[in-house]
Structure 1
Amino acid sequence: MLIELIRTILVKELLEKQTISIDEFCRKYNIDRPILDSATKRLEQYLTIDSDSITLLDRVGFAVESMKLGIPAYDIVKLMNWREYEALCSKILSTYGFKILRNIRFSVQGKRFEVDIVAIRSPYVLIIDCKQWLRLKGRSTALLEAIMRHKERFESFLKVAPEILRLPIKIVFGLKFIPVLITFYTQDQLIVDGVIAIPLEGLSRLIVDLENLPVEYRTIDKSYTTIDRE
């Protein structure tokens, strides 16, 4: 229990400060060096540890591994910027075998769109919007608005998907497309008008249950729009 507590504190301090003094950390929390060494196990590959300090090298990889070790996602994400948050979502998806495309910009009928993440693992393609919302108050309306905007973004993406994915047409026609919004606002999985809204902590469960989702998968029609990619 002590090691888990120290690990949680260590993760927060490294995300905040990037480098910590080992002596100061041990004095502050009244622990010996062996306890600190135990707390860093499974995290060493993301750190530089010398005789007097610990430096964080890979914030995103460190965050993913910390979540695997039981550190609450909320405690991690609140210390990351939005780019790191998107990278964190991408990293989790890639560990499940998804190919990741990020920040895809395109235009359909003169209107511009941007998709944060396109995650591909045949036959599934997840079209993802990432919202780094950490507070619940006043967000219910904003969540519904974000879902509706993502639905429009998703529908537009389907019209240009063959060019974006750069796959043979026969393969693209066999893919199943799913719109997903990842945010800390939703406490449980929420499905509105075909768009799945989930908290980050529910992303792994969503991936495992892709075959059994209570949504109608979308496929590409035989005719599609050409793309003006930015």
Structure 2
Amino acid sequence: MQGLNRFILDLLRLSKDQEEIALEKLVLDRDLSESIVLKLLQHLRGELGAVIQVKDKEVYVPKATKMKLVEKALQESIDLDEIIKTLHWRDFESFCLRVLDYHEFCTTLNLHFSINKKRYEIDVIGIRRQLILAIDAKKWKTGRSSALKVMVRNQIDRCKALAQSLGIPKIRDQLNLTKDNDISIIPMLVTSKMYEIAIFQRVPIVPFFKFNQFLTDFHLYAEAVYKIPSQYTIPRPRVSKPLTEFFKSAPKNLRHPV
């Protein structure tokens, strides 16, 4: 359909920070008549259903289903770099997750956890067999090598903390891991910039446009990348001591006559 590709990019761009787009905005931005805009919307709704909603001169692109519009853009052979430019950084994280889904990883978005009273977040996690890919997803306008080095070190620290957190049942439940899993964690970065695949301090730095290739050819990188073994152990149940034993072993200022 004529003008469809440009219209899809407009929908993605205008819904970057909000779900609602004024119909008038689409008309003015594309210098199209309202009837043509409505025909384009009707065409997309026919293919994508509830991904796009129109009500009271407002167009809604719900964040929960926005990735289907991104997939439609890919099907229409719209340039990947152009698609990424229209995305919010949260959408970019979801885009990374969809690629992992395609490669049959079990996926988790925005895992939050605490170790030693310090809070951590890992943007995207993909689990397959005995590996956890722990991804820091970076949507940048520019990407300096000095910044990349700092981010690699930070991601290694997050992954070491994640390895410790796997002893927490709640975290293992979130990741759908059993106590018998022998897991290695691989820290990595996926960036929006058009670099080649690089390895820094044994951490892969993968441009999004080569993310699919990296996962397909992962066996070529497997020996070169940093793997953090899980430190998960089954916590032993606490044995309550009788009060007499407690006070005998306590410091003098805590002892109490029994």
**CA 1:222–1:9: 2 relative to 1, 3 Å:** closer
Judged with a 3 Å threshold, the aligned counterparts in structure 2 of structure 1 residues 140 and 168 are, in CA distance, closer, same or farther, namely: same
Does the Cα contact within 8 Å between 1:115 and 1:129 map onto a contact in 2? yes
Q: Tell me how far 1:56 sits from its aligned partner.
A: 4.0
Q: What amino acid does structure 2 have at the position aligned with 1:76? A: I
The aligned runs of 1:83-98 (5 Å cut-off) are: 83-98=90-105
Deviations 1:134-182 (Å, cap 9, x if unpaired)? Answer: 224xx221111111111111122122235323422322x1x34221211
Aligned length: 215
- When the two structures are superposed, what TM-score results if normalisation uses the length of structure 1? 0.74
Separation (CA, whole Å) in 2 of partners of 1:56 and 1:223: 41
* 2:52 counterpart of 1:47: yes
Is residue 2:70 matched to residue 1:63?
Answer: yes
C-alpha distance in 2 between matches for 1:200 and 1:27: 32
Query: Per chain length, whose mean CA-contact separation is higher, i.e. which structure has more relative contact order (CA < 8 Å, sep 6+)?
Result: 1
- For normalisation by structure 2, the TM-score amounts to 0.67
Residue matched to 1:208: 216
2:4 paired with 1:7: yes
Instruction: Name the CA distance, whole Å, in 1 between partners of 2:229 and 2:116.
Output: 18
Work out which of the two has the higher radius of gyration on C-alpha atoms and give 1 or 2: 2
Which stretches in structure 1 are left out of the alignment for 5+ residues? Answer: none
Residue identity matched to 2:132: V
User: Could you tell me which residue of structure 2 aligns to residue 190 of structure 1?
Assistant: 198
Query: Which of 108, 127, 132 is the matching residue for 1:125?
Result: 132
Q: Which amino acid aligns with 2:178?
A: P
Q: Which residue of 2 aligns with 1:180?
A: 188
Q: Which residue of structure 2 aligns with residue 161 of structure 1?
A: 166
Contact 1:186–1:197 under 8 Å retained in 2: no
SS in 2 for 1:182: strand
2:234, 2:131 → 1: CA distance?
Answer: 21
Identity of aligned residues (%): 20
One of 103, 120, 123 as aligned partner of 1:116: 123
Change (3 A) 1:53 1:7: farther
What amino acid maps onto 2:180 in structure 1? Answer: K
- Tell me how far 1:192 sits from its aligned partner: 0.7
